[in-house]
Chain A
C-alpha cells in the first residue's frame, strides 16, 4: 500500500491570489461577450433557413392537371412506425377519377400528435404524393385539430412544386375479363363500390368512439 499522501493546504496568500486571478479572468470573459454579436434570432420577424432535408408538416401533392398523386395504396400507413397514418382507399369513379390510379384516398388522416417526423411515409410512397414540407408552425388549440385530414393535406396549394405531368396511365375503370361495365349498372349502384365500403369502415370506426373531428367527418361523408 502506498503511503498516504499528506495534503498540504495552499498558503492563504497563494489561495487569495488564485481566487483573484480566477475572478479577473471571469470578469474579462463576460466583458468580452458584452460587446460581441448577439445570437438572438428575432423569431417571428426573422426566420432562419432550415436544412433542405428538414421534415415538417405533411402534404399530399397533386399533378398540374388537378389530379391527386395519392393512389390510396396505404403503403405509408404500413410504413409508419408510430401508427399515425390512416388511409381509407376507395375506387375511383372512371368518369371523374380523383387520381390516375385505380383507387384514391377517400379519407386520409395523419395524427400529428403521434407523428415522429421520421419520413418513412415519404420514402414508402410509390407515387411521390406524400411530402414532408419545411413548415413547422403547427400549434393548435385542441387535440382534434391536430389530426389532419384531406382538407389540410390535399386541398391546399402545394408548398414547393407541382408535378407537371401525370406519369401514370389514366384510369379508365377496372375491366374484369367478363362483363366489364354491365354488372355494375345491373346492380343499380350509383356510387363506386369502393367508396361505399370505405364509408362503412369509417362509420364503424366512428361508432367505436373514434376521435375523428367534426370537420373531418364532414369531409369524409
Chain B
C-alpha cells in the first residue's frame, strides 16, 4: 500500500510535469509556434528547468499574512488533489504469479463519493490561501474561485448521479464493467458533454480559468504566493485536471475497455491522453468567459440540463426495472 502510494505520487508528479510541457507544446502548435524546444531535445528537459526555477525563486510571505494558514493552503490543495487519485483504478487488476494486484490504491464501494469529497476539500486550499494572504485581491479571488468550483460541482454531481443510476454502483471498477458494450458517452451524450464542461470549470481550466484571470485579478487567489508555494497550487490544478480526465475516461469512455491486442492500462492511458488533449484544444479555442456568464451558464443552463438528464435516465431505469 505504502509502496503503491509512493509510486502513484511520483507518477502523478511526473505526469503533471510532462502534462505541462505537453500543454505548452500543443498550445504552441495551435498558435503557429513550436513551443518550448531549447532545453534538451524537443524541450524534454523543460519541466526540470521549470522545477529548478520554482525552487530557487524568492519565496515571499506577506508581512500581515496569517502565517500558519498561508503556509498550509497550498499543501491542502496539493494533498487533496493527490489523495483524490487514490481511488481511481487505471486498469484491470494485474496478475503477478499468485498475487493479484489491483491498479489503484483502493477501490472502495463508495469510490465516487470519496473522490467527490477530496476534490471538494481542495477548494479549502484555494479559499484559505486567498484569505490568509491578507490581500483584498487574493481574498476576492479565493471567493470567486470557490463560488465557481461549488456551483459547477452541483451540475457535475447531477451528471455523476445519472451515471450511477445506470451503472447501479458507486464503485469505479463496477462502473467501468457496466459500460460494455457501449461506453456511456454514447448512451448519455448530453451528460458526457455537460460533464466535460463542468469538469473543466471544476478544475478551473480555460474557458473557465477565472480564478487565474490574470487580466483582471493578477492571478486571483494566489496573487501573494511565489516560488514553490505558487508551484504547488499549479501542481494541484494540474493533478486535478489529470484526475478529472481520468474520471471522464472511467465514467464515459469505458475506462480500460478496448480490443485485447493492447493491455487495459494502455487503453486507459490512450483515452486519458485524448481527453487531456481535448482540454488543451478547448483552451486554445474558446475565449475566457466573464464571471456573470460563467455563473449564468452554470446555474441556468448546465444545472437544469443535467437535472433533466438525470431525471430522464432515472425514469428510464425505473421503467426498465
Contact = CB atoms under 8 A, between A and B. Distances in A.
Contacts, number: 32
B281 A33 contact: no
A137 B26 CA distance: 31
A26 B32 contact: no
B286 A34 contact: no
A30 interface: yes
The interface size bin for chain B is 10 to 19
A48 interface: no
A200 B41 CA distance: 59
B286 A33 contact: no
A118 to B, nearest CB: 33
Contacts of A39: 32-33
A40 B34 contact: yes
Interface in A22-62: 23, 26-27, 29-31, 33-34, 36, 38-40, 42
B29 interface: yes
B15 to A, nearest CB: 22
A36 B286 contact: no
Contacts of A42: 34
Contact of A30 (B33, B34, B285): B285
B286 A40 contact: no
Contacts of B286: 23, 26
B299 interface: no
Contact of B285 (A26, A36, A38): A26
Contacts of B34: 38, 40, 42
A26 to B, nearest CB: 5
A33 B30 CA distance: 6
Contacts of A34: 26, 29-30
A38 B29 contact: yes
Contact of B32 (A23, A27, A31, A36): A36
Question: A31, A38, A42 — which one has the most chain B CB atoms within 10 A of its CB?
Answer: A38
A27 B207 CA distance: 13
Interface string B12-31: 00000000000000101111
A203 B107 CA distance: 86
B284 interface: yes
Interface string A1-35: 00000000000000000000001001101110110
B92 to A, nearest CB: 33
A31 B33 contact: no
Nearest to A26: B285
Nearest to B193: A20
A23 B33 CA distance: 23
Interface of A: 23, 26-27, 29-31, 33-34, 36, 38-40, 42
Given A34-B29, A38-B34, 10 more contacts: A27-B281, A27-B285, A30-B281, A30-B284, A31-B281, A38-B29, A38-B32, A39-B33, A40-B28, A42-B34
Interface of B: 26, 28-34, 281, 284-286
18 contacts: A26-B285, A26-B286, A27-B281, A27-B285, A29-B285, A30-B281, A30-B284, A33-B30, A33-B32, A34-B30, A36-B32, A38-B29, A38-B34, A39-B33, A40-B28, A40-B32, A40-B33, A42-B34
